[in-house]
Chain A
Amino acid sequence: MHLTLEGIDKVVGSQTWLYPMRLQPCSGAVTVLLGATQAGKTSLMRIMAGLDVPSHGEVQVNGHSVVGVPVRKRNVAMVYQQFINYPSFTVRENIASPLKLGGEKNVAQRVNALAEKLHIEMFLDRYPAELSGGQQQRVALARALAKGAPLMLLDEPLVNLDYKLREELRDELSALFAEGNSTVIYATTEPGEALLLGGYTAVLDQGELLQYGPTAEVFHKPQSLRVARAFSDPPMNLLAAVAVASGVQLEGGPLLAVHLPESASRKLTVGVRASALRVTAQEGDVVLPGKVELAEISGSDTFVHVATLVGEVVAQLTGVHYFELGAQVTLYLNPAQAYVFDGQGLLLLAPVRGGGR
């Protein structure tokens, strides 16, 4: 199914919830709507679902306008943050209900197949209230899949689950999405989740669609500071700088010998991802001495907050590392790994990817 949002916006009273945008989510793939709360993800999804109409613009399915077509005639499946199931139905009946409505003949067989896919086959005769949160959300997902809708909308479906469950379900979901039977729209606030889901990403910020493209491409080439901010976790380190003949001069810090385009403004912002900062030196690095403010340990990574002459920065190191509060530390950066944004916050330079430097 081909969904197209053409010049849509949403104005409610004196407030603009969505600024005019055009979005054509890739059909048969997952499109992640990435943005903080209030970015407009849910408003956009409600328009896609037919729960709301845009103030202006067109919503088309396979080339035909569907503005005003009620949601029950849209053939859309939705999954919300809250686990929504029929409390008085067993799991079996919950999954069966969309199948029966759809006139499915082999209901029992399909229920079993879906339950197996989502690893809830052992709970078919229980009621939702007897299940854990993760299991309840699996039931809701099974119901959405049972509908076999060509458009599936998932609004932060994993946000209320423990992080380990989230990991597990996300893996299973991306395998299901990869089957390509539906166009999937998936809203999340977490950059890491967007990257793990892959597919395509639309970055939203305060009601504006900032960038749309293959997820990895948007991450590696954010067109603006706003996209870079929205699509970084931990936040991208942003350092004030000016253009000089031999490259970029960090305010209060070293010179980065990079080749700027002719058009570059004088005032610049340099963006450095936390993972580009290291505590071991490599050839061609610039040096950023500083003082440790905190080392946050996640298990797989250690995020070291360091006060330096160019401001406070965060470095991401793989594995567990200990740093005393206040300890001296030297960070290293390969200038080729820096992003450079112009005075308007537009991308001038992104690190070259692929193939060792």
Chain B
Amino acid sequence: MGRGCCCWRRFGAGGADMARIELDLAHAYAPNPKQDSDYALLPLKMTFEDGGAYALLGPSGCGKTTLLNIMSGLLMPSQGSVKFDGVDVTQASPQARNVAQVFQFPVIYDTMTVAENLGFPLRNRQVPKAQIHQRVGEIAEMLEMSGQLNQLAANLSADQKQKISLGRGLVRPDVSAVLFDEPLTVIDPLLKWQLRRKIKQIHHELKLTMIYVTHDQVEALTFAEQVVVMTRGRAVQVGTAAELFERPRHTFVGNFIGSPGMNFLNGVACAGGLRVADTVLPWLPGQSLPPGAVKLGVRPEYVTLVAAQTPGALPMQVAQVQDVGTHVMLTARFAGQTVKARLSSDAARMAQGDTVWLQVLGEHSCFYQNEEIVA
């Protein structure tokens, strides 16, 4: 494509070449998909803004890697288009799209030094030596590898090698986007936070568009400004960490984010309030729902222990009390339904079989029908 040259001019001028990525597509690995389950990715429309930090989060098999591969150009969607800055690149190769990628496992040259490895993508594009030297120095500084530039990569630990892979993904300032596929898999758990911090810092400093695939909620929520939560080929919510926690748009998100996830109680909306089994919880001022079956969603962090007969509370039977160190996890049942509550360690003593009043309907309540949020 001869793009290396033209990009280099922009690089030389100090400008970046980031792109706004627009997706309007679907993907099925087999021809003629008929039902939802035939799709690896159900039809979706999504925009990744220039310079943003995004994560694609979901369990294995949710379609997140398929989506990443479609953005990078490793995979062509079976229908629809990928646009970079308004230009259709659906048919374009990863090189032509000018994306950098960081994979799960280190991809580096053992026979080269750290500096040679870091500079490789620049050398490949005939960047002048002096500029390579300067840029490699900057990236090494960011990754705290300045002291190791002249070491052979072969002798480094897996952590260090993966840091080089990260550095290589970040070394070209003229890329459209940097795509990460579970980049911290091989990193020692105790060192992970430092690399999470590095990646975040680097995003702040370089303002590159970064898209990060992971099944790990900590990694996604910590890194990204916007998290795309995926399940079974569908992007069920795009939002900030706070939005996913406070207002999950889908019950899947409610359950997937948080540990334990959101509680769901089956009830029926009626004029006076929400009926759960034979008890009616009166609506809060301003709250109401059209009559019908509904699921009440409330996070264990927002279920509170209250006095008997408090509005919004149910008398529940204690099934389990776990001292999980920093707090107490209470599991309680009401008419065959289970609720978990995260209570402070100072909370009143209670034992299995006791009746406690737990407030489940309050300002943090969410309501779901057909698994989608309705209020």
Interface residues of chain A, those whose CB is within 8 Å of chain B, are: 162-164, 167, 191-192, 195-196, 198, 215-216, 219-220, 235, 273-275, 293-300, 303, 305, 316, 318-320, 322, 325, 353-357
Contact = CB atoms under 8 A, between A and B. Distances in A.
Given A294-B222, A299-B257, A196 B324 contact: yes
Size class of the B contact interface (CB-based, 8 Å): 35 or more
Most buried by A among B258, B324, B327, B349: B324
A139 B374 CA distance: 38
Contacts of B323: 195, 198, 215-216, 219
Nearest to A197: B322
Interface in B241-259: 241-242, 244-246, 255-259
A273 B326 contact: yes
A106 to B, nearest CB: 29
Interface of B: 59-60, 190, 193, 196-197, 200-201, 204, 215-218, 221-222, 241-242, 244-246, 255-261, 300-301, 322-327, 329, 342, 345-346, 349
The A interface, classified by DSSP as helix, strand, loop or mixed, is mixed
Contacts of B241: 297, 299, 320, 322
B196 A296 contact: yes
The 3 closest A-B pairs by CB, nearest first: A275-B326, A297-B221, A294-B197
Contacts of B217: 163, 298-299
A320 B200 contact: no
Contacts of A319: 245, 301
B77 to A, nearest CB: 26
Contacts of B218: 296-299
Nearest to B331: A171
Contacts, number: 97
24 contacts: A162-B59, A162-B60, A162-B215, A163-B217, A167-B259, A191-B325, A195-B323, A198-B323, A220-B325, A235-B190, A273-B325, A275-B327, A297-B221, A298-B221, A299-B221, A299-B257, A300-B301, A318-B342, A320-B241, A320-B245, A353-B345, A354-B349, A356-B346, A357-B346
A320 B227 CA distance: 14
Contact of A296 (B222, B260, B324, B349): B222
A133 B40 CA distance: 20
Contacts of B245: 299, 319-320
The listed residue with most B CB atoms (<10 A of its CB), out of A196, A220, A322, A355, is A196
A164 B342 contact: no
